[in-house]
Structures are given as structure tokens and as C-alpha cells.
Chain A
Amino acid sequence: MYAQMVDTGARVAPGELDEQEQRFQARIDEGIRVEPQDWMPERYRKTLIRQISQHAHSEIVGQLPEGNWITRAPSLKRKSILLAKVQDEAGHGLYLYSAAETLGVSRDQLVDELHSGKAKYSSIFNYPTLTWADVGTIGWLVDGAAIMNQVPLCRCSYGPYSRAMIRVCKEEAFHMRQGYDLLISLCKGTPEQKQMAQDALNRWWWPSLMMFGPPDAESVHSQQSQAWKIKLFTNDELRQKFVDQTVPQAEYLGLTIPDPKLQWNAERGHHDFGEIDWDEFYNVVKGNGPCNRERLATRKKAWDDGEWFREALVAHADKRAAQ
């Protein structure tokens, strides 16, 4: 997802928790929210910093693939919509950085970790946006997958994170719909335009399924995260839900999902689907996807180019304060 494979630290069996931690777990089980000033296990705090900051970084880096198309949008209407969408993603990043900061990290530290490559962001944003149809497909699939993951997180155990997610989710519905709306236009357009949409789906389908993270059998940290209620459903559960939701949407557009094994399984009441290429996923996570280097370089350049402006703002503030 926007946060993939979040390390929860050394695992502690429920029987080995000390008294304080047992009380903490009991409160979580009761559904009581944890707030910044409450006592929390160090492992919980560190895991949340990793998860929330990874999520924040994804929102920020996630602006880049779509940002590529702002100057080339085919109409003023589409350009205004895309600008608003990309601006929302910046806002999402800020809500989430603020939530992470309540856990005792500084914004500068988080940004440094992104720029140094130490912190991760979602694998999905390391794929290129080759055509205008990619903008629609990202809204439909990537924001659609994000919603699937983020709606349950509105109920997560950490108060500031859950409140940030509530804000984010309100805005994501617009993101998904504008993407689907864009694709409806293309699919009702010329054969070339429809083909453009099909090509985008062909390229984004598998990376979108990878967004949910490794299969449950390989997700070593899932159990702990679920006990802490900072993960409410498993990767495979969410992935299945996503496939089931998306198939009829693709049908409506008249597009073919690029998976010959995709098939309704009446017995399970779900769609079966083909094997995901996990080598590709791990390769992207390691930094070798098609755009990893470009994305980081763009982020760093934006940060460095803005330095004189940040300094000027501080100089102005200092001068005013001295008056």
C-alpha cells in the first residue's frame, strides 16, 4: 500500500509482554484511541513513525507522476482538475507528516530520510506516466487502491493518524472519480483514444496489485500491526477486494484486464487471478524500478531549489520579530 512492509521491530509473544504493555494492549482491544501524550511501547511508536512517514512520503512523491501531465492536459477543465488533485496530494502529505511529528520526530529528519533513500515510499510511484490515459488510470486504480486501504485506517488505534486518514479519505473519492471520468471520455472517444486507455491499464494493472504488499504468508510484520490495530485487513484480503471491485468497472469501460487467469469463482464468491511477479516488486522496492532514481532526484532538486526561498521567509520573520 502507501506504506508497504512496515517493520514492526522484534516480535514479542503476548505472554511475554510486561504489565504496562499488557495494559496498553487491553486498551487497544477495547477500542480506546492512543493519543500523543499517552504511554506507548517504544516498538509501537517506532513502527508508527515508519508507517506514517512512509505514507506521507508516498503522497509527496505521488505528485510527481501526475504532475508530469499538468502542462500537457488536453483542456483547461482537465488541467484545473489535475492541478486540484495534485495539490490535494501535497495536503495529504502534510496531514501525515504532522501526525508523524506527534510521535517525536522532526519534519526535517523525515524529509532527510526520504532524500537520503533511507525511508521508503510506495512502489507504485516508480512507474512512468507515458500517456494522458495514465493520469486517468492512476486516479482509477492507484487512488482506488489507496481508498481501499485508507478507509479502514480511519479506525486505527493512533488518534492523530486516524484523524488524518478521515481527512484524506474525504478527498480521495474525488481523485478516483476524476480518473474514472477521464477514462470514460477516452473509452467513448476514437479507437486510438480507447487503445490508449487499454495500454495504460495493461501497464498499471499489475503494479497496482503489488501496491497491497507481499502475500500474507510472507508478511512477517502483519500480525503485530493487526494486534496494534494499525493495520485492519491483510494484504491479500485488500487485494482480493480491490480485484472484485475493479473487474466490473473495467467491463463498463470496455477494457480488458491483462490477466488471462482472471475468472469469477462462484464457489469462493470472488475472482481468481494470476500470479503476481514478486521479483519485479522487490526489485522496485530495492530502488531499481523504472523511475526510482528520477523521482528522488526530482524531489531533491525541488528541495534544494527552494532553499533560498525558505531562508528568505525566515529572514523576513526574524526581521519582523526584531521590530
Chain B
Amino acid sequence: MNSTWPLWEIFIRSQHGLAHRHVGSLHAPDAAMAINNARDVYTRRNEGVSIWVMKSADITASSPDDKAALFDPANNKVYRHPTFFPMPEDVKGL
């Protein structure tokens, strides 16, 4: 029998209408226990209205080495932000 419990990543929705946010991780033998444990570890003070759990092993993360390749292209595209365009002050509704 495998005695080492897998690691789960925990996501909590703090209020209706907001997205689930990653809050941390914990060990549990299965998904149902992971939710039980997450309730005790991460929502002792009404922090959530919904919990998602996901096995850490199932997450694929970008590598720190790829940071430049992934994110540099966005750096020189300031025109994607509305603040790039100066607008005439007396024109409203823009």
C-alpha cells in the first residue's frame, strides 16, 4: 500500500462572482479528503464559498528559463494599453 499521500493544489472562490484563486497545497489520500482538509486548513474564517482541488502532479508549469521567450514579446507592445493614446481633453466618452 502506498502510504505517501499525493499533494493537492487548493483553489478557493472567496465570494460569488470572483474567480477561484490558488491559496496553497496540502496532502490527502483522495480528492474528497483533500476538500475536507482544505476546508479546515484554508477556510477557518469564512474565506470561501467554493473549493477546487487538483493533484499537483497534473499541473504543467512554464519554466523560468522560458521567461524571456514567453513574456518579452509583450514588453514592446505598449500600444495594447489604452493609455498609449493621448486623447483630446475636451472630447468626452473615450
Report A's interface with B, CB cutoff 8 A. Answer: 35, 37-39, 84, 87-88, 91, 94-95, 98, 101, 106-108, 163-164, 167, 171, 310-311, 313-318, 320-321
Verify A310–B26 contact, CB threshold 8 A. no
Type the 1/0 row for B1-40, where 1 means its CB is closer than 8 Å to any CB of A.
1111101000000000000000011110110010000001
- Smallest CB–CB gap between A83 and chain B, Å? 11
- Smallest CB–CB gap between A95 and chain B, Å? 6
Chain A residue at minimal CB-CB distance from B6: A317
B contacts with A: majority SS:
loop
- Smallest CB–CB gap between B78 and chain A, Å? 23
- Measured CA separation A106–B4 after assembly (Å): 9
Verify A315–B64 contact, CB threshold 8 A. no
Verify A311–B1 contact, CB threshold 8 A. yes
- Measured CA separation A215–B32 after assembly (Å): 48
Report B's interface with A, CB cutoff 8 A. Answer: 1-5, 7, 24-27, 29-30, 33, 40-41, 44-45, 61, 63-64
Chain A residues positioned under 8 Å from B44 (CB to CB)? 84, 87-88, 91
Q: Could you list some 28 contacts between A and B, CB below 8 A?
A: A37-B64, A87-B40, A91-B40, A91-B41, A91-B44, A94-B26, A95-B41, A98-B24, A98-B25, A101-B7, A106-B4, A107-B27, A108-B3, A108-B4, A171-B45, A311-B1, A311-B3, A313-B29, A313-B30, A313-B33, A314-B2, A314-B3, A314-B29, A316-B29, A317-B29, A317-B30, A317-B33, A320-B30
Question: Which of A37, A98, A171, A316 meets B26, CB within 8 Å?
Answer: A98
Verify A310–B3 contact, CB threshold 8 A. yes
A94, A164, A320 interface centre (most CB from chain B within 10 Å): A94
- Measured CA separation A94–B27 after assembly (Å): 9
Chain B residues positioned under 8 Å from A310 (CB to CB)? 3, 29
- Measured CA separation A38–B41 after assembly (Å): 27
Verify A35–B29 contact, CB threshold 8 A. no
Chain B residue at minimal CB-CB distance from A174: B45
Chain B residues positioned under 8 Å from A320 (CB to CB)? 30
Chain B residues positioned under 8 Å from A107 (CB to CB)? 27
Verify A316–B3 contact, CB threshold 8 A. no
